Chains A and B, each alone.
Chain A
Amino acid sequence: MLDRVQDVADESTRFSDGDAVPRVVIVDDHRLFRSGVRGELGDAVEVVGEAGDVDGAVRVIGEQLPDLVLLDVHLPGGGGVEVLRRVLAQHPQIRFLALSVSDAAEDVIGVVRGGARGYVTKTISGRDLAQAIVRVADGDAVFSPRLAGFVLDAFSATDAPPVDPELDRLTQREREVLRHIARGYAYKEVAKELFISVKTVETHVSSVLRKLQLSNRHELSRWATARRLV
């Protein structure tokens, strides 16, 4: 199981307390699901805390200062977006990976624009989840095929001229990378396919993430609310 994780976490990667594995807080309102994830992740990460609602999450994260928070989108007390807002205001260095059963567009786009550096659905395998965690904790972005599809959709609806071309448009290369992710390719496979390095793929995805978070094009929000569905 660990071989794929180590593809990502190379020797130079060290997390906050000098460990080779990231310290993680799991935030989800289903206790069963939290323990399930804990079990699946095994020793790929160090789980340092759990929380089941917004207030509890903010408290635990503030105490533990983990490398990464696994964040459920739907939480009692304001949802994942509220946790992002309150934690990132004080600890901008903490990274969030959103995890949800919902793949409704407004949920996905909502948490990513709220500051999560990735979005995966709860059907993800333990191995892939561990890999995604290490990747996000390392500062990169993780897009599921579905999120890649959303982003392509949102950025291709260009009926209005972009306000800020730097942020409101994807480059040809970025679109190409996203299309491969949407087709179900892992980063490594995308890299091989496009004759670029995995690092470059990660750079492209991070840049798309930045655009997604910073762009003000109203298509993004309008599109997400107009299309409640996948």
Chain B
Amino acid sequence: MVDTPRLTRAVDGRLLGGVAAGLARHLGVDPVVVRLAFIALSVGGIGVAVYTALFFFVPKEEAHTQEEGRDGALRKGRDVSQLLAYIGLGVGLGTLFLVFGGVFDPLLWFVVFGALGATILWQQANPAQRDEWMSTTVRHAGSKALMRTGAGVLLIVVGVIGFLVFQQQLQDARAGLTFAFTLLAGISLVVAPWIIGLIRDRDQERRERIRNAERAELAAHIHDSVLHTLTLIQRRAEDPREVQRLARVQERALRSWLYQRPADAETTVSPGLERVAAEVEEEHGVPIEVVCVGDCPLDDALGAMLRAAREAMVNASKYAGCDTLSVFGEVDQEEVLVFVRDRGAGFDLDEVPEDRMGVRGSIIGRMERHGGSARIRTAPGEGTEVQLRMPRIPQY
């Protein structure tokens, strides 16, 4: 359920005193409806009184904070042309009353019907077309738009025919109407293919434009990234490690651009692990293959786990002397597991030098401080696997 706003006099989007806009907001309808109602009532005589009363008794809306920024500031100014249109409408209706003398003259209503239909059609045409010309996405006219057009046409037809009937002119006009219809039909037949052709051309042109825009974007991207990297690679051709690093970095960048990975690397485990691996890989030049099963939001403990995993990857990159690392992350109901494995030199756990004990401390110690655990499996010549395990805090 949406809250109904209190009845206040609007500041934003008001034309006169903000009564109509405020009332419209309160009732949840378009302000145009309220304004037209006021004008209709005014022509009957009572509208002006009601408006004045409401103006004095309804409190003014509290000043908005500048939340809408420039947009809001623009809208605060009253739209003079709209105001003029409403005044014109009011005066016009008044004149009609003077001419036809009273609300109950059916002629008046047919004229109003016709005018209303025409208005709907014109309103329909303008913003819709403007949008179409401006927008770059191909979109189809909604059924709502079709319905509105239909309603507009119907109103005009009813208005015109009714007017003629009540003026007793239909009989006289029949011959003329037949002539007019025939002429219209003929012209439509002649012009229709041309118009359809025009519309097709326009669609075609629009599609072409979209395609060109995409191509330009792609070209720009390739130029900025891929071509640049290829140049670097040619210059560094004598340094295979650097070449490989460049190629991997570019590959990752291109992939993430092509598949539009969501930018939520800071909030869940799987992208977080991939990001960490990418960073280590960029720094140390050893390719890291990341596979992750399942995902969950990061919390403090899991953040620490990612840092420990990072430490393990850095170690493996530095000391294992192998050409790839495998990282596997698994998120299940109770716990999160991360394995960092290399097929490198391995080492004897009992003979770890002191300086590397510190690094090991920053893996094992870090995990244990956050309620997890770490195991290191290694032997000389067998490679190393660091296994990290962190229980998940239930997210209730």
A residues near B (Cβ < 8 Å) are 104, 123, 145-146, 148-149, 152-153, 156, 179, 182-185, 228-230
Contact = CB atoms under 8 A, between A and B. Distances in A.
Contacts of B289: 145-146, 184
B375 to A, nearest CB: 13
B339 A183 contact: yes
Pick from A145, A152, A153, A184 the residue with the most CB of B within 10 Å: A184
A152 B293 contact: yes
Interface residues on B, range: 10 to 19
A179 B338 CA distance: 11
Contacts of B343: 184
B25 interface: no
B341 A182 contact: no
A182 B294 contact: no
B202 to A, nearest CB: 32
A148 B291 CA distance: 9
B326 A183 contact: yes
A184 B292 contact: no
Contact of A183 (B261, B287, B294, B385): B385
B51 interface: no
Nearest to B342: A184
Contacts of B292: 149
A206 B292 CA distance: 22
A185 B339 CA distance: 11
A183 B341 contact: yes
Contacts of B293: 149, 152-153, 156, 182
Interface in B306-354: 325-326, 328, 330, 332, 339, 341, 343
A194 to B, nearest CB: 14
Given A145-B289, A183-B339, A153 B328 contact: no
Contacts of B259: 104, 228-230
21 contacts: A104-B259, A145-B289, A145-B291, A145-B328, A146-B291, A149-B293, A152-B330, A153-B294, A156-B293, A156-B332, A179-B328, A179-B330, A182-B291, A183-B326, A183-B328, A183-B385, A184-B325, A184-B328, A184-B341, A185-B341, A228-B259
A225 to B, nearest CB: 13
Nearest to A147: B291
A148 B329 CA distance: 12
A7 to B, nearest CB: 16
Nearest to A146: B291
Interface string B273-299: 000000000000001010111100000
Pick from A148, A179, A182 the residue with the most CB of B within 10 Å: A182
A224 to B, nearest CB: 14
Interface string B249-289: 00000000001010000000000000000000000000101
Contacts of A146: 289, 291
Contacts of A156: 293-294, 332
